[in-house]
Amino acid sequence: MEEKIAVVGAGSTKFRPDTSEQNWKELMFEGASKAYTDAGLNPRKDIDSFVTCAEDYWEGFSIYDEFVPDQLGAAMRPTCTVCGDGLHGLAIACMQIMSGMVDVVAVEAHSKISDLNTYNDVVLFAFDPIYNRPLAGHPYYVAGMEMNAFLNGSGNTEEQCAGVVSKNMTNALKNPLAAYGKRVGVGDVMGSEPMFSPAKKLDIAELVDGSVVLVLARAEKAKDIADNPIWITGFGWNSGTPWLEGRTWGRASYAEEAAKMAYKMAGIAEPRSEIGFAEVDDKFSYKELMHLEAVGLAGRGQAGNDLENGRFHADGDLPINASGGSLGCGNLIEASGLHRALEVVLQLRGQAEGRQLNDVERGLAQSWRGVPTASGAAAIFER
Amino acid sequence: MTKPENPRGVELSSKQMKEGDVIVNKWDPRVKYAWATGEAISRFLEEMKNGKLIARKCDSCDRILFPPRMFCEECFKPTTEWVYIKDTGKIETYSISYLDKDARRITDPIFVGVVSIDGASEKMGIMHYFDETTKEDIHIGMPVKAVWKPPEEREGAITDIKYFRPLKEGEE
Ligand SMILES: [Zn+2]
């Protein structure tokens, strides 16, 4: 990447299933205040542009963009909303800097999903109106279909998926932001209620609220602002087919392509030896294994074995979701990707407290927008 | 070659649409929300039930923010204090609407506009209806006062005020 860009500020609320004492503006204000304090910046003077990630149906407002500025310190300043995951927003923020128009950009993503009473219906509303939506039912069965195809095609097993849940929920015990830290064994997951077979209750991340904010700056500014800048050296994004009927079911093609784009920008040829740790999407347990294979951090059909051999545990060769991931922290909807970026940044800064990984130099954050999408993004961070 | 009789096609009636002459795809999305109102708005709505308007003060810029909010968007700092303000003000701007929300013409037009509230800072006010006035009398800058619903009918909503009416002489 020609233009060097760094994360100079990072902040987040805690992730909680219910935040009824705050409204969505107050939640975002809290996340933003933490990030600006961390950066030592006054958003009214020092930040040139603001990006937030939101989708009108999650929020319950038409043209939600209009309601964003006040709580981000962006009143009467350049502001835009990206209808995508937090890593899509991060990519837009980077490109604004690369364009030369701005030096310092704040990117925010949040979930106030507890305000939405009909989550399943809104997810169903994202289905193709002619071919898929009339079948109705709980839309998560699409994840069950994908899990089935992935396990069948790759040779990974349900027990290995359960191992992902056990690892991530246990990791979350060391993350003060996490909502679902718990000591859970493979047997607990396997014995949990069948939901969208082969997916069981504990294979599925529970929804949470939260707001995550990162402040990015171009190199010359970054060095003045932060004594521990974390460099963004590559990013990418991709969308697979919206046709459920036409998907390559066992593979996360969008993640393959998004990672390829990011690796190319970062000059990474051999991700397995060049990336030290990663936060990848695990809104469903099998997704972690599927995404690890897609982004080249595990061989095809090997992610499950690697997991069982301890490779992805916090003390393994390639720690994955040391934060606890979505399974341990909760599903943050569009903020999920930015949370993964936040964790990578904290790890690289050495600020991950009880879950700090040793000697990490470079990490990957990878996101997926959730059922029924085949869209996601990826970003590489370096110390 | 013969010229088509109506090269621009035939206009479809809503009847034809309803009767299925045109294939359409229908779906009623079930989207329901219960937004947590949070700290500032909850108090504001509670005070509406009491027939009072409450604001928040920003210590940094000394503005009285209304409707109240927990942070000042100019200073990007938390606000510091609750302040009661009056239920009188001046009309900032208004319109007389002759159509209802379904774009049907109504016989009694709706007077609607923004009132800057006395005691709050500039550009701080409330949007509401006006009544007890006429097309001829209503004007920008007109002093007005809230007309509240009786206490037992108030429910903690912006409509606990029925409308604003012209301020009478000598009234506060
Ligand atoms: Zn202020």
* Residues contacting residue B61 through CB under 8 Å, at least 6 positions apart: B72, B74, B75
Query: Does the pLDDT at position A317 exceed 90?
Result: yes
Instruction: Indicate whether B3 pLDDT > 70.
Output: no
Residue B6 clears pLDDT 80, i.e. is over it: no
Domain boundary assignment for chain B:
38-166
Q: Is the pLDDT of residue A69 over 80?
A: yes
Confidence of residue B129 (pLDDT cuts 50, 70, 90): very high
For range A61-84, the mean pLDDT: 96
Q: pLDDT band at A71, cuts 50/70/90?
A: very high
How are beta strands A277-279 and A362-368 bridged, if at all? Answer: parallel
**A77 touches B: beta carbon within 8 Å:** no
**Nearest one of A109, A358, A132 to A211, comparing CA atoms:** A109
pLDDT in tens, A150-163: 999 999 999 999 99
Of A81, A53, A86, the C-alpha closest to A65 is A81
Average pLDDT (A108-118) is: 98
B135 vs chain A: nearest CA distance in angstroms?
32
1.10.540.10, 3.40.47.10, 3.40.50.1100, 3.40.640.10: CATH of A140-208+249-382: 3.40.47.10
CATH node for B38-166: 2.40.50.140
Average pLDDT over residues B17-38: 90
Average pLDDT over residues B88-101: 96
Instruction: List CB contacts (< 8 A) between A115 and chain B.
Output: 33-36
Of the residues A28, A36, A44, A62, the best mutation for testing chain B's interface (the one with the most B CB atoms within 10 Å of its CB) is A44
Q: Which two tokens stand for residue A54?
A: 């939101």
H helices of A15-139, where? 24-39, 43-46, 56-59, 69-72, 86-98, 119-124
- Please count the helices (runs of H) and the strands (runs of E) in chain A: 16, 11
Cross-chain residue pair B69–A133, CB shorter than 8 Å: no
For testing contact with chain B, the best of A13, A18, A19, A20 (most B CBs within 10 A): A20
- Residue written as tokens 């859970």? A184
Mean pLDDT for chain B overall: 94
Architecture of domain A5-118+209-230: 3-Layer(aba) Sandwich (3.40)
Rg (chain B; Cα; Å): 24
- Tell me the whole-structure pTM to 2 decimals: 0.95
What DSSP letter does each residue of B38-74 carry, written as one string?
HHHHHHHHHHHHTT-EEEEE-TTT--EESS--SEETT
CA pseudo-torsion sign A284, A285, A290, A295: positive
Chain A contact probe: residue of B73, B75, B124 with most A CBs at under 10 A: B73
CB A291 within 8 A of CB A238: no
* C-alpha–C-alpha distance, residues B99 and A377, integer Å: 47
pLDDT of B65 reads: 98
In degrees and rounded to multiples of 5, residue B92 shows phi and psi of -80, -45
- Report yes or no: B60 at the A interface, CB cutoff 8 Å: no
In this predicted model, what pLDDT tens digit does every residue of A274-316 receive, in sequence order?
Answer: 999 999 999 999 999 999 999 999 999 999 999 999 999 999 9
Taking residues A199-211, what's their average pLDDT?
A: 98
Domain with CATH 3.40.47.10 in chain A: 5-118+209-230, 140-208+249-382
The answer to whether B34 contacts chain A (CB < 8 Å) is yes
* pLDDT at B152 (0 to 100): 97
- Rounded distance between C-alpha atoms, residue B24 and residue B27, angstroms: 10
Per the structure block, which two tokens stand in for A350? 């050495």
ipTM comes to: 0.92
- Nearest Cα residue to A307 out of A142, A107, A165, A191: A165
pLDDT at position A178 over 70: yes
- Whole-number pLDDT of residue B11: 79
pLDDT band at B2 (very low <50, low <70, confident <90, very high): low
Using 50, 70 and 90 to split pLDDT, how confident is the model at B172?
confident
List of chain A residues whose C-beta atoms are within 8 Å of the C-beta of residue B29 = 121-122, 125
B55 Cβ contact list (under 8 Å, min separation 6): B64, B65, B66, B67, B68, B82, B83, B84, B85, B119, B120, B124
Q: Distance between CA A368 and CA A377 in Å, rounded?
A: 7
What is the nearest CA distance from B96 to chain A, expressed in angstroms?
Answer: 25
Is it the case that residue B8 has pLDDT exceeding 80?
A: no
Q: E strands within chain B?
A: 53-57, 64-65, 71-72, 77-78, 81-85, 88-99, 105-117, 125-130, 143-148, 161-166
Residue environment code for B81-112, b if the CB has 16+ CB neighbours within 10 A, otherwise e: eebebebbbbbeebeeeeeeeeeeeeeeeebe
Q: What proportion of chain B, given as a percentage, has pLDDT over 90?
A: 80
pLDDT by residue (tens digit) across A320-371? 999 999 999 999 999 999 999 999 999 999 999 999 999 999 999 999 999 9
Averaged pLDDT, A105-123: 98
User: How many alpha carbons lie under 13 Å from residue A83 in its C-beta half-sphere?
Assistant: 9
How are beta strands A230-239 and A277-279 bridged, if at all?
Answer: unpaired
Dist CA A113 CA A210 (whole Å) = 9
Q: Which residues pair with A368 in a beta bridge?
A: A376
Nearest to B31 among A73, A118, A130 (CB): A118
